[in-house]
Structure 1
């Protein structure tokens, strides 16, 4: 009986999933797509009058991510003014299909036509230099052969950045003397004198290490760095580690960052042939609230060791 009941349930599910109801047709080529593409090209070209020629008099443009339930959208005139704004304020403007994407025209049984696009919006704001590089999904509804509604979905944080960039804003304090600078100097000179225990004591046990020769996103653990450093010590003698200029400690307001950046000349002798090497290095060390280094980035080229 249980098997019969289970079989009946499965058949019922199959029947429910198998039921479909066609409500129109999707087109890859359609006059409405041509209209949207032409309007987009005119927008990029900054031709507001031509853009307006593709819009219905009742046109409304909406931000699909706007939570305002009473939003009335932009009118045809307002949208045409936006064309002029982008023309006058954005350089290198382009709106191109995202990789692998193409527009669709949806023609419903009731005669309603929509076009949806997946594009990439790019440009540079003239005054602030902020780069615009965002994916944009838009839906266009047609009435009497013209666009009477546009709904746009994209991340608008870049516009916030543009707005913030019109004023000078501080983001923390730079120090040329600080206890975190002292820690970096002490660890570098501990390395110079072969005192590895002291040098590694300045790092948090979960510290991650990277350098400019590593692939993006890769990092090493403290134990892995210890092993690599030992290999180097086996092949090279450290003669001196000399600071270049002076270290900076940057205490950021944004995200409460604590960073020391320092420049050094690392003077080495290769043990195999006694070749003298002076290797320039930039280190960026990020600290936690306990004064331990939690991230270390080394801008050093191993080519100096060849």
Structure 2
């Protein structure tokens, strides 16, 4: 009987001492990589070294992706619309999860702010980004936000420019 109790105690100690794989954390090298990517975006540095060359980015879509090169062009094209833009430092949340299938993902919830160059209007927007990692590199990115306020502002600018163009055309005649 004593041997049985000792065996059970030994099994309990061995089982309790075994390290289990971390499935959720708020501190990891992958989170640091995402923070680096966010920092580079804010600095308008699009080297994206933490992304694999084959990375696919899905921004507000589930079907149409941007390659790494297309993503750089996308960001550079959008930068022309703003005198200032970037993710804010406050109230940002990051988490890393390992799925049941063993995939490593980093999720982040961020606040983005941009000042429209033409009008000076400041737009605040919550953004959710999630990144899949393989061998320390980002291989997939999904980004979700509501672009309505930006779209409406850009449409108003376009209407303003069209009206000015029409005025110029009338005054020439």
Whether these two folds match at TM > 0.5 is yes
Aligned residue number for residue 33 of structure 2: 35
112-121 or 158-167, which moves further after superposition?
Answer: 158-167
- The answer to whether structure 1 residue 147 and structure 2 residue 138 are counterparts is yes
What aligned pairs does 1:41-120 form with structure 2 within 5 A after superposition? 41-49=39-47, 51=48, 53-64=49-60, 66=61, 71-96=63-88, 99=91, 101-120=92-111
Contact 1:28 1:103 in 2 (8 A): yes
112-121 or 86-95, which moves further after superposition?
Answer: 86-95
Aligned residue number for residue 167 of structure 2: none
> SS of 1:155's equivalent?
coil
Contact 1:45 1:87 in 2 (8 A): no
Q: Distance in 2 between matches of 1:96 and 1:61?
A: 22
Task: Point out which structure has higher relative CO (alpha carbons under 8 A, 6+ apart).
Answer: 2
**Quick one: structure 1 residues 63 and 83, their matched pair in 2 at CA, closer, same or farther if it must change by over 3 Å?**
closer
Q: Distance in 1 between matches of 2:80 and 2:147?
A: 19
> SS of 2:76's equivalent?
helix
Q: Which ranges in structure 1 are unaligned for 5 or more consecutive residues?
A: 1-22, 171-306
Q: Distance in 2 between matches of 1:111 and 1:31?
A: 17
TM-score (norm 1): 0.42
Q: Distance in 2 between matches of 1:149 and 1:159?
A: 25
CA distances 1:170-206 after superposition (whole Å, capped 9, x unpaired): 9xxxxxxxxxxxxxxxxxxxxxxxxxxxxxxxxxxxx
CA distances 1:55-99 after superposition (whole Å, capped 9, x unpaired): 1122111134x4xx6x22111111111232344332232213563
Contact 1:112 1:142 in 2 (8 A): yes
Contact 2:84 2:116 in 1 (8 A): no
Looking at secondary structure, tell me which structure has more helix per residue: 2
Contact 1:44 1:87 in 2 (8 A): no
Looking at secondary structure, tell me which structure has more strand per residue: 1
Q: Distance in 1 between matches of 2:133 and 2:115?
A: 31
**Aligned residue pairs, count:** 142
Q: Which ranges in structure 2 are unaligned for 5 or more consecutive residues?
A: 1-20, 164-173
Q: Which of 1 and 2 has greater Rg?
A: 1
